[in-house]
Structure 1
Amino acid sequence: MNSVAENYLDSTKKQFVYYKSLGDKTFAQLSDEEIHWQQNEDSNSVSIIVKHIVGNMLSRWTNFLTEDGEKEWRHRDTEFEATYKTKAEMIAAWEQGWKCLFDAINPLQATDVSRIIYIRNQGHTVLEAITRQLCHYPYHIGQLVYVAKLIRSDEWKSLSIPRGKSATYNTDKFSKEKSKKHFTDDL
């Protein structure tokens, strides 16, 4: 039987994969021009949101267990300046950020979750630090999905249960035998 810590790490990895996939599916629906669309001067485009997520990932997950998560080389304010020229460039950075994250969490063992790491000199257990990011990234991924939905309007392809399809979805789920699964196992 797996320990709580092992279950946590397994579930966390699946959650991160799921949220990455929401970003991937969103980008697939947008053009090079659309990733730069902003509602107004103070709002963020999809490309700016991605740049911030990537900056955070590279800072937090590089040498995760041995260095403060807020690196001296990170310049957070510049993450809110549009610099990606193309969708391909944005996606390459997105992939780099996720690779850094998975390279840091995949080797973690159950015994690591109670270790102390630091973010801006504030001690966190590994479990707390992971949870912090597992809340932070979906917050911003939800933003980029919402911006993309505004851009694509009626052409948007739902990333979850489409409107009016909940009953069909639930009928399918309840027609199967009860089992212990992660919600992402069937996606």
Structure 2
Amino acid sequence: MNFQQIYLDVISKRFKNLKEQGDKTLSQLNHEQFHWTINEESNSIAVIVKHISGNMISRWTDFLTTDGEKSTRNRDDEFIDSFTTTEEILTTWEKGWQVFLDAIEQLTEADLEKVITIRGEQHSVIDAIERQMSHYAQHVGQIIYIAKQVTGSQWQTLSIPRGQSQNFTDAMVKKHQ
């Protein structure tokens, strides 16, 4: 397997893992928790979901052939919490990820050598992918952090539980021997 295919496989796996962390986080929230903010300048989880989805749909629809900032996108509107139901939030989350993951899965090794545009600025396809990895990881991290705050002691960890690091490491080493 060559480097380009390895890269495509790795990013697919990493982005799917990022979505899974978001999925597991969102599943722990009730309707009010999606809309909670610490102050007027902060974004709720609902708003972050709306923004991520808007970004994904804009950037990854016709990714290789059109500018990543589509004229149909209203980025400013993404920061207004207009959701009335939890289902709307989850549908928005899924729609963005579907567009994005479909685009990632369709990339070929040759596509990695292409150049795309975002707001008129040229980027290599690899740079555009890495830019989005950073962006989406930042926002999923925000979602997780806010969710931990609003769920408190009800939070179900997404990784190794506190005090279990050595047991986890030992099990992983044993598994891979």
Q: Same fold (TM over 0.5)?
A: yes
- Looking at structure 2, the residues matched to 111 and 162 of structure 1 have their Cα atoms a distance apart, in angstroms, of 41
Letter in 2 for 1:116: V
Letter in 2 for 1:19: L
Contact 1:62 1:104 in 2 (8 A): yes
- Partner of 2:31: helix, strand, or coil? coil
- Looking at structure 1, the residues matched to 76 and 151 of structure 2 have their Cα atoms a distance apart, in angstroms, of 28
- Partner of 2:107: helix, strand, or coil? coil
- Looking at structure 2, the residues matched to 84 and 7 of structure 1 have their Cα atoms a distance apart, in angstroms, of 39
Letter in 2 for 1:81: I
Letter in 1 for 2:160: I
Q: What percentage of residue pairs aligned between the two structures are identical?
A: 46
Letter in 1 for 2:72: W
Comparing 103-112 and 58-67, the one that deviates more: 103-112
Shift of 1:71: 0.8
2:47: which partner in 1? 48
- Looking at structure 2, the residues matched to 59 and 109 of structure 1 have their Cα atoms a distance apart, in angstroms, of 20
- Looking at structure 2, the residues matched to 6 and 131 of structure 1 have their Cα atoms a distance apart, in angstroms, of 16
1:158: which partner in 2? 157
1:77: which partner in 2? 76
- Looking at structure 1, the residues matched to 90 and 105 of structure 2 have their Cα atoms a distance apart, in angstroms, of 22
1:26: which partner in 2? 25
Shift of 1:137: 0.2
- Looking at structure 2, the residues matched to 137 and 13 of structure 1 have their Cα atoms a distance apart, in angstroms, of 13
2:87: which partner in 1? 88
1:184: which partner in 2? none
What is the number of residues matched between the two proteins? 177
Query: Can you give the 5+ residue segments of structure 1 that lack an aligned partner in the other structure?
Result: 179-187
More helix by share: 2
- Looking at structure 1, the residues matched to 6 and 124 of structure 2 have their Cα atoms a distance apart, in angstroms, of 16
2:5: which partner in 1? 6
Q: For 1:84-135, what per-residue CA distance to the aligned partner results, in whole angstroms no more than 9, with x for missing partners?
A: 1111111101111011012211111111101000011111111111111011
Q: In the TM superposition, what are the counterparts of 1:1-187 in structure 2 within 5 Å? A: 2-177=1-176
Query: Can you give the 5+ residue segments of structure 2 that lack an aligned partner in the other structure?
Result: none
